[in-house]
Structure formats: structure tokens, C-alpha cells
Amino acid sequence: MSDSSDSNLRRRKGRAPGACETEDDFFHYLDTFFDREHPSLELGRGDDCAVLNLPGKSCFTTDLFLEDVHFRTRYFTPGEIGHKGLAVNLSDLAGMGVKPTGFLLNLIVPGDDRLDAAFWDEFFAAMAKLANDAGAVLAGGDLSAGPNLGMAITAWGVPEQGSAILTRGPVSPGDIIFTVGEYGLARTGLMCMEAEGRDAEADFPAAVAAHCTPQPKLAAGLVLGRIAGESGGVTGLMDLSDGIARDLPRLLGFEHGAALDIPSDSLHEEIRRHAQETGEDPVEFAVVGGEDYALLGAASPSTITRLEQEVEGLRPIGEVVPGKGLTVNGKHFTRTGFDHFGR
Amino acid sequence: MSDSSDSNLRRRKGRAPGACETEDDFFHYLDTFFDREHPSLELGRGDDCAVLNLPGKSCFTTDLFLEDVHFRTRYFTPGEIGHKGLAVNLSDLAGMGVKPTGFLLNLIVPGDDRLDAAFWDEFFAAMAKLANDAGAVLAGGDLSAGPNLGMAITAWGVPEQGSAILTRGPVSPGDIIFTVGEYGLARTGLMCMEAEGRDAEADFPAAVAAHCTPQPKLAAGLVLGRIAGESGGVTGLMDLSDGIARDLPRLLGFEHGAALDIPSDSLHEEIRRHAQETGEDPVEFAVVGGEDYALLGAASPSTITRLEQEVEGLRPIGEVVPGKGLTVNGKHFTRTGFDHFGR
């Protein structure tokens, strides 16, 4: 944080918010939209570093969110960009079963004039709403010019009292694999908008929303962390960001595979309709998925019933089997997963 | 961190390191050059989050380091880019008087093929050397394509036992303002290389080194933190990243100004020679400065002698005065500070 600091001084100057071009503009927006205080924050924005007080274990994640790699200004609204840039980080915290407490924002602003005050108002308001709803304080950041709009956010969180931090394993054969939230729906939205832009929303509103405003599964993560802390049985959890085909092997580790049972009618209607229009297999499309920002986990057979009762949206989709490899509805699945814009 | 994880799996595949294009490449390089373990790290690279154990207070900073904003591939070596990207963050930790313990690396890689395996070997080796020397573990990160090379690093550190965390004030009139390290030298290097490229090194070797391989003043920061913890008297400290003209008001706050006394012959010989060649005033040039990655601080008059004795490279440069404004050698100083590449 080679930042500036004196927000009151800048306010005294009466500079109207406009394009986000200087560090003064940047910190003006932060001070307008984001709280400065949090119980875990000893010293917030305006010094070389933020000073945190995080007794015990804490979880940290960082993600890039770049124009024309992770989003398009062509069909994302400013608010959706601000929301999703933070949401992808909070989703990693959900994948550990912990509660967000803070984040740092690096913002890259294109040098041209296409992003005006109205853009930044919407952008920061949406990011701040998500942050405040999640309980995460903006502790600092950095601003730079760059060729395209971009963000690099670092977010952190802590387990609730008595809760476990949930890692990607180890899982065992016989464990039940589950998801929380839709998979394949965000990719449906991406494909529709890459083809039709925002007009896709008329026919695929849920898919567009899944792609543009993913809702990190923080509440579900916390319930899973609490149950695991109380009685164990949750053998792995991660956030489903690159699609089941790519992320599930990361949950399973070297030694295990999975047999998934995914009836086509368990998928969202918009996925099935889109697959029908394009001639794709809807289940295969959904398993490739990508950017679902759902949760993917595993639990012992004796635990899964409790999870189904207590975690909203949790669905068993198969089980861990000995030996590597993935079958879906009895057939070997060999397609690799999602990579943003084909990278 | 929507990352991949199975480094051993990738090693088994025997994939040779090459361009840094996929997350597998990225994590291969990280595993090749960076330790995975640290006493403060409960869970390192390869999950949704890193899990840290940081009892007490900890300091966090984040900075962007982008091609053609903060550096040029035209005249930086790959190792210098890797070094400086991390160094600018560690300098923020030096500015708080704390010891680095870890960092997260977001890396943006241009889609063209100009950065090859030799580039990445040098880049990561230099970053890892700085990290290891400083005691900071690489806890995770993210990779993305982008139009230009870039980094967003988040680094953290903790105060040593009994030491204080040093913030930007509050300072009082009569406090002695000091620097640790050269100021104006890195800007000399920048100006020379923008004009002449790497050829500038023949005549301005120290200036080129100051710009391309800044050495964060971590040892000095730790001594200052220890003295402040033992007996107080250090009334403000910050890292000098935007030049004295821009950073000193941030140290002074709303109410105070400063009277600086900077003899021309206290400046590095290369600054004076460059100023002579360009017809600029060397003191004015050095006070504007920028990217010094020195330290700027203030101490009570009764403390400054001890600091001069115990902190290598510490120099008093003036004192805090009542009322805003800056004088240098008795004259009002009105030029604003450094902004990268004129932004």
C-alpha cells in the first residue's frame, strides 16, 4: 500500500468524485462506500500497512479479476464487475467454511475515459454491499493505471467458534460427494452472452445472473464448518470455480476417483434448454461447467443425511471410488474442465 | 486462489518448465523456487486458501507492479522485475518496523510468446532469493493471462518480540525528521534509463541499481521498531515510495509542516552529476524523488542521537514545524511529488 491517506483533507478540498484516476480519487471512493472499522482491524486504510488482530488460525486467498479474461465490460454492468471481483474471493473463504473478515483491493484502471463517475459509483456500491453483507472490512489497497480494467483482491476470514477449517481432503472411498448450488448455469450464461451479449438475459435470466452476480455460498460453508467442528464427517470441501471436471480431481487427490450420478432433470432448466439449442449433452456441459462459485465437498455416508437436512441447497451427486478416474452416469468422463475464455 | 494443487502429480508427468502459461506451469515454478513451509503457515499452497497462524498483531500490505506503469521489460532484467515486484511490498513492511513472514503472488502473463523459460527462471529465482533472505514464505497465488506482464503481491509481517509497530505519526513540532537510505537516486536511474535504456548503467550504475533492484530497509525498520518498543521516541515511520515531497505530508498529518536542511553534497554523486547535465537543481530533484524505497520517519530530539548510532544509514534531514507547508534550505517548496510515468 503505497497509498495516500488523508481522507478528511481530501474532503475538505471538496473535490467532486469523478473518474477514478488518482490515488485521491480512489481513496475518496473507498471512504464514501466502505466502512473503516472492524473488530479485527487495529489500523485500517491510510498507512503503509493495515494492522490486523487475528488470534488463532485465519484463511487468506487472492484472485485476479481482469477485463476480457474474467469479464467483459461489454455485457457486465459496473455493479456486476464490482460484485463479482470480490465474490470470487469470498467464494474461496466459503470453500474453507470460514467467515470473511476483511480484504485488500488492488484496482487497475484503464487510461482512456470510458469509465466515468457513474460507472465507479455503481462499481463501488455493489462491491461495498457484498462486503458489508459478508462482514468484510476493506483494510487498504492500491491503484494503478493499466491497459484494461482489473482487480486483484486478497480476502481473509476466520472460523467461527468451535468450527473446523475445511480443506480439500483427504477423502476416502465410499464418501459421498456433494455440491451446494448450481453447476453449469454460469457457463450457460457465459456462452449465451458471448454469443448474444446482454440480450441473452431475456431467455436465460438465471444463467446470466449466475455468471454476472455469483453469490458465494458463505452461509452453507459456515454450517459445514460448524458441523465438522462438532462431529467431523465432512471429509473435504472446496469452492467450485473451475467446474466439476477440473476441480473434483483436486478434491479427490492422487489415489481416488469418483462415480457421479447426475440425472439430467437435476440440472437447471436453462442449462437443459441451452444444451438442446446447441446440441450438447446437458450433463456433460454442466460437469465441465466453470465459474460456478458453488461448493464441492465430500462427507462420510453417516454424515450426509444431516448435511442434506441442515445445509440449504446441498445435493449428493455421487461417491468416491478407489483408483483414479471419473465416471458420470456410468460412462467414463474424459473432458477437461473450464478455462476462462479458452486460455 | 482458484488454483491447482497437485505438484507431485505434475512432477510425475515430467513436464519441462517453459513459458508460464497454465496454472500447472505457474505452480511448477513456485514449487521449484519457493519453500512451502514456515512456522506461521498452517496450510500452504494448493487449497482454496492459505491458513495462517498469526497470534497478536500483524501487518498486511498490497501493491500492484505493472509493465509500462512501474517497470519496462525493455530495460529491466527478468530478475530485476521479480525482485522489485516483491521488494516494493517488503518496503511497506519495513515502514512499519516489522519482520516479513509471508506473501501471496498474483501474476499476469502476456499472451504473446516473448517471455520464455529463461525469463521465468530468472524472474522466480530473484523473487525467491529476496523472499528467502527476508524470511517470507510464498503462501499461494493466482495466475491469469493479460495484455501486459504484471504482479499484485500481498505481503505480511509481524513485530519482533517487544517491538512496536510504527505508524505514520502523530508527530510533534520539534521532532527530528530522518531518512534511511538514498532519496532521488532511483529517480535519477529512471530518468537516465527512460532516455538511454540500459546503456545508462555505464555512467549511472548506482542510480540504475536503485531503480531496478531497490533493497527494502528491513533491518533498519526492525531496529527502529525495537528501539520504539523499548523506550518510545520514534514518533512516525513510513516507507518512502512516492518521494519526500509527496510522502512527507502524509507523515506530518494535517497540522504540521517541516523545515528541511539538505546540503547538496549530502546527495549521491550520481544525482548531482545528472542534475548538472540536465540543468536541474539537485536538491529539488531529490526531494521530488520517487520509488526510493527508503524510510522516512520522525523522532523526538532526545531519541535521534541513539537512532543515528544504531540505525545504519539514518540521516536527520530537518524538523517538524507548526503549521502546514514545507521549506527546503529556507525556501518554500511547492513542487508536488513523483507519479509513475507521469500518471
Percent pLDDT > 90 in chain B is 85
Mean pLDDT, rounded, for B268-278: 97
Note which residues in 234-273 of chain A have CB less than 8 A from chain B.
238-239, 241-242, 249-250, 253-254
Q: What percent of chain A has pLDDT over 90?
A: 85
Q: Closest Cα partner for B163 from B68, B252, B237, B245?
A: B237
Average pLDDT over residues B311-320: 98
Question: Touching check for A140 and chain B: CB below 8 Å?
Answer: yes
pLDDT (tens digit per residue) in A195-219? 999 999 999 999 999 999 999 999 9
CA distance A1 to chain B (A): 5
Does A48 appear as a known binding residue?
A: yes
CB contact under 8 A, A106 and B238: no
Distance between CA atoms of B102 and B159, rounded to whole angstroms?
Answer: 13
- A1 at B interface, C-beta within 8 A: yes
Instruction: Please indicate if any CB of chain A lies within 8 Å of the CB of B66.
Output: yes
> What is the mean predicted confidence (pLDDT) over A68-81?
96
Establish if A219 touches chain B: CB-CB under 8 angstroms: no
The pLDDT of residue B338 is: 58
Phi-psi region of A107 (alpha: psi -120 to 50; beta: other; left: phi over 0): beta
CATH of A176-338, one of 1.20.120.50, 3.90.1150.10, 3.90.650.10, 2.70.170.10: 3.90.650.10
Candidates A23, A48, A52, A70, partner chain B, best to mutate (most B CBs within 10 A): A48
Determine contact: B36 vs chain A, CB below 8 A: no
CA angle A51, A54, A57 (to 5 degrees): 140
Contact with chain A for residue B98, Cβ under 8 A: yes
The fold for domain B7-158 equals 60s Ribosomal Protein L30; Chain: A; (3.30.1330)
Alpha-carbon distance A275 to nearest alpha carbon in chain B (angstroms): 26
- Segment B22-79, tens digit of pLDDT: 888 888 899 999 999 999 999 999 999 999 999 899 999 999 999 999 999 999 999 9
Q: What's the average model confidence in pLDDT over B157-181?
A: 97
Q: Which three cell numbers stand for residue B280?
A: 536541474
The answer on pLDDT for B15 being more than 60 is no
Give the CATH architecture of domain B176-337: Alpha-Beta Complex (3.90)
Interface of A with B in 157-196 (CB under 8 A): 157, 165, 167-168
pLDDT-derived band of residue B217, with 50, 70 and 90 as boundaries?
A: very high
The whole-number average pLDDT for the span A33-41 is: 94
Chain B residue with CA closest to A339: the answer is: B22
Q: How confident is the model at residue A24 (pLDDT cuts 50, 70, 90)?
A: confident
Cell, residue B134: 527476508
Cα distances from B220 to residues A42, B22, B87, B94, B328, in angstroms, run 24, 39, 15, 8, 25
Residue A239 · residue A330 · CB < 8 Å: no
State how far the Cα of B192 lies from the Cα of B197, in Å rounded to an integer.
7
Per the annotation, does B239 bind a ligand? yes
User: What is the pLDDT, as a whole number, of residue A339?
Assistant: 56
> Rounded to 5 degrees, what angle do the CA atoms A197, A201, A204 make?
115
pLDDT of residue A16: 45
Q: Give the residue-averaged pLDDT of B227-236.
A: 97
Q: What percent of chain A has pLDDT over 70?
A: 93
Compute the distance between CA of residue A62 and CA of residue B61 in angstroms, rounded to an integer: 13
Touching check for A53 and chain B: CB below 8 Å? yes
Please judge whether B64 and A108 are an interchain contact, meaning their C-beta atoms are less than 8 angstroms apart: yes
Contacts of B140 in chain A (CB under 8 A): 60-62
Q: What is the mean pLDDT of residues B133-143?
A: 96
Cβ–Cβ of A148/B145 closer than 8 Å? no
Of B2, B8, B152, the CB nearest to A242: B2
B70 is in an annotated binding site: yes
Q: What is the pLDDT of residue A15?
A: 40
Q: Output the pLDDT for position B236.
A: 97
Domain boundaries, given as residue ranges, for chain A: 7-158, 176-338
According to DSSP, residue B312 is labeled: T
**Nearest partner of A175 among A223, A237, A229, A220, judged by Cα:** A237
The pLDDT of residue A21? 81
On chain A, the residues whose CB falls within 8 A of the CB of B47 are: 96, 167-168, 238
Give the mean pLDDT of chain B.
92
Nearest-neighbour CA in chain A from B277: distance (Å): 31
pLDDT score for A27: 87
The whole-number pLDDT of residue A338 equals: 58
Query: Shortest Cα distance from A202 to chain B (angstroms)?
Result: 31
Q: Is A112 exposed, middle or buried (0-12, 13-18, 19+ CB in 10 A)?
A: exposed
Q: Please state whether beta strands B137-146 and A50-66 pair in parallel, antiparallel, or not at all (unpaired).
A: unpaired
Q: How does strand B150-158 pair with strand B99-110?
A: antiparallel
Strands B314-322 and B256-260: antiparallel
Q: Any binding-site annotation on B92?
A: yes
Facing residue for A343 by CB, picked from B6, B48, B145: B145
User: If you average pLDDT over residues A267-272, what whole number do you get?
Assistant: 98
pLDDT value of position A337: 62
Question: What is the rounded average pLDDT of the residues B318-332?
Answer: 95
Mean pLDDT of the region A304-308 = 97
CA nearest A92 in B: which residue?
B48
Distance from CA of B200 to the nearest CA of A (A): 26
Mean pLDDT of B155-177: 97
Contact A63 B142 (CB under 8 A): yes
Nearest CA-CA partner of B317 in B221, B218, B175: B175
Contacts of B14 (CB under 8 A, 6+ apart): none
Bridge partners for A65 per DSSP: A151
Residue of B nearest to A341 (CA): B145
Task: Please check whether residue B261 is in contact with residue B197, taking contact to mean a CB–CB distance below 8 angstroms.
Answer: no
Task: Look at residue B16 and tell me whether its pLDDT is greater than 60.
Answer: no
Cα Dmax for chain A? 68
pLDDT at A22: 83
pLDDT of the residue at B339: 56
What's the rounded mean pLDDT across residues A62-81?
A: 96
